[in-house]
Structure 1
Amino acid sequence: METFSGCFVDDKAIRVENIFLDFLKSFRLDPRMGESYYESEIQAMEANGSSTMYIDFSHVMLYNDILQKAIADEYLRFEPYLKNACKRFVMEQNPTVIAEADDNPNKDINVAFFNIPFTKRLRELTTAEIGKLVSVTGVVTRTSEVRPELLQGSFKCLECGSVVKNVEQQFKYTEPTTCVSATCLNRTKWALLRQESKFADWQRVRVQETSKEIPAGSLPRSLDVILRHEIVELARAGDAVVFTGTVVVIPDILALASPGERAECRREAS
């Protein structure tokens, strides 16, 4: 990992992105096929108005063992690069899929893996799985309403008018810490530019162990699963589901916030 002018360049992640792009371009179940397997996936995306590319993980395992190990072991690190590879692939094959997506040329292409060979039970999830690609089974017991979530915000400085783009949201509404202008001292006065920010549908789902997975004399364990984009509203209470994603640790925002922010958080949660 190198740094240029204060910006980090993740060389390994860039290599993973390029190998994954080669996989999308060249993978074929039958060598006699004219087009790659995932060219037909783009056609399905266009037909369904979808912005998510579904990847069979068994195909990745067949294609390149190093690639599948990198994705499985460090999915959280490489996810943005995998999404970028999907976007580059779609732009090369059929740019209209992005151009027609909600009239937003900056629309991302999301990546979703399925057919993971290492499915785990809720009770088997430990800190060792943080950041890795895992599948977990369980029964949905509760779902929240679907809400908009700010993923990356663009902010205008109310002092000098400069724009700070792509501010990653850190589990709560996060504004820039400093202005990009060297002569501006503003740290607190910002206006969110909604048209230039990235939002996603968001839903929280509570998942519980199935009756067969609960050891004798133990209480069932549960886990909150965050759904985004097109998979919201697909799970219903009572459904037995296999979720594929990564385990993350979310800090206690109320504990980190100042007294005034805690009151605001409680109002938003109620």
Structure 2
Amino acid sequence: MKTDTPAQWDKFFNRYYIGDILALANEYPEIRSLYVDFINIEKFDPDLADELLAHPDQSLSAAEEALRSFDLPVKKTLAGAHLRITDIPQKVKIRDLRSIHISKLIAVEGLVRMATEVRPRLLVAAFECNGCGETMLVPQSSGRFVEPYMCKNEGCGRKGPFKIKLTESEFVDAQKLRVQESPEDMRGGEQPQTLDVNIEDDIAGIVAPGDHVIVAG
């Protein structure tokens, strides 16, 4: 039976986090994250907790769908809210990260050695066809700038040129951190290893070099 559904997450939120969600709604959109202790998920439904660890993208998508559509007693929606998981049991040292950890939910602990300035990152670019004026929305990856292949207007179909419309595009605050192993995680003579971490939205800009952090992802 599939457990990581929005309906199951909605039951979880109603049992454990009604007060926190109401507090989030009062502060939203200045604050956009709900912090959830993994232990509470495990107590509520061990299968749901296991699914979260094994398939975090799918599980968090269902959880955020439930959070963003939560039935609030106030006239406000949490359309851009995020779920942040704390106290994840699977902690991995930076030097021990391997391919088996890809696509799994783990936590990494260390010291922030470098933090870039917070800058906007393009999530969805809006383009206007110079031929017919049609507007197209194109999701952007973090690696390269993606333009439309051709105009989606069947009566046009031109392959450009296209003009980006910044006011109709979607951006998010973004920052890169370099996290270094904590001294207590190293044996004598070992050189500290580092991990580059990309963070976005309301958690960008809240830490600085020298801070001790636990990164979940």
Q: Which TM bucket (shorter chain)?
A: 0.7 to 0.9
Give the deviation of 1:230 after TM superposition. Answer: 1.4
What is the distance in 1 between the residues matched to 2:9 and 2:160?
40
Aligned pairs for 1:15-30 within 5 A: 16-25=5-14, 27=15
For the aligned residues, what is the CA RMSD? 2.3
One-letter code aligned to 1:48: E
What is the distance in 2 between the residues matched to 1:177 and 1:18?
38
Query: TM-score if structure 2 supplies the norm length?
Result: 0.86
Aligned pairs for 1:1-270 within 5 A: 16-25=5-14, 27=15, 37-49=16-28, 50-89=31-70, 92-94=71-73, 96-98=75-77, 107-165=79-137, 167-171=138-142, 172-245=144-217
Sort the Cα spacing of 1:47 and 1:65 in 2 relative to 1 into closer, same or farther, 3 A.
same
Is this contact kept in 1: 2:112–2:212, CA < 8 A?
A: yes
Give the deviation of 1:182 after TM superposition. Answer: 2.8
Sort the Cα spacing of 1:188 and 1:217 in 2 relative to 1 into closer, same or farther, 3 A.
farther
What is the distance in 2 between the residues matched to 1:210 and 1:169?
35
**Percent of residue pairs identical:** 27
What is the distance in 1 between the residues matched to 2:178 and 2:97?
15
> Residues 93-150 of structure 1: CA distance to partner in whole angstroms, max 9, x if unpaired?
1454438xxxxxxx41111111212222111221211222111100111110000111
More moved, 228-237 vs 199-208: 228-237
What is the distance in 1 between the residues matched to 2:85 and 2:66?
14
What is the distance in 1 between the residues matched to 2:198 and 2:207?
11
Query: TM-score if structure 1 supplies the norm length?
Result: 0.70
Bigger proportion of residues as helix = 1
One-letter code aligned to 1:176: P
Give the deviation of 1:47 after TM superposition. Answer: 3.8
Flag structure 1 segments of 5+ consecutive residues without an equivalent. Answer: 1-11, 28-36, 100-106, 246-270
One-letter code aligned to 1:64: D
What is the distance in 2 between the residues matched to 1:158 and 1:72?
47
> Residues 146-178 of structure 1: CA distance to partner in whole angstroms, max 9, x if unpaired?
00111223333232222323x321113222333
> Residues 198-245 of structure 1: CA distance to partner in whole angstroms, max 9, x if unpaired?
221111111001122123443211011112111122212111111112
Is this contact kept in 1: 2:151–2:160, CA < 8 A?
A: no
Partner SS, residue 233 of structure 1 = coil
Partner SS, residue 196 of structure 2 = strand
Partner SS, residue 225 of structure 1 = strand
Is this contact kept in 1: 2:149–2:159, CA < 8 A?
A: yes
Aligned length: 213
Is this contact kept in 1: 2:130–2:160, CA < 8 A?
A: no
What is the distance in 1 between the residues matched to 2:10 and 2:213?
30
Flag structure 2 segments of 5+ consecutive residues without an equivalent. Answer: none
What is the distance in 1 between the residues matched to 2:158 and 2:191?
52
Pick 1 or 2: higher relative contact order, CA cutoff 8 A, min separation 6: 2
What is the distance in 2 between the residues matched to 1:190 and 1:78?
37
> Residues 173-200 of structure 1: CA distance to partner in whole angstroms, max 9, x if unpaired?
2223333223433334333333443221
Is this contact kept in 2: 1:84–1:109, CA < 8 A?
A: no
Sort the Cα spacing of 1:138 and 1:174 in 2 relative to 1 into closer, same or farther, 3 A.
same
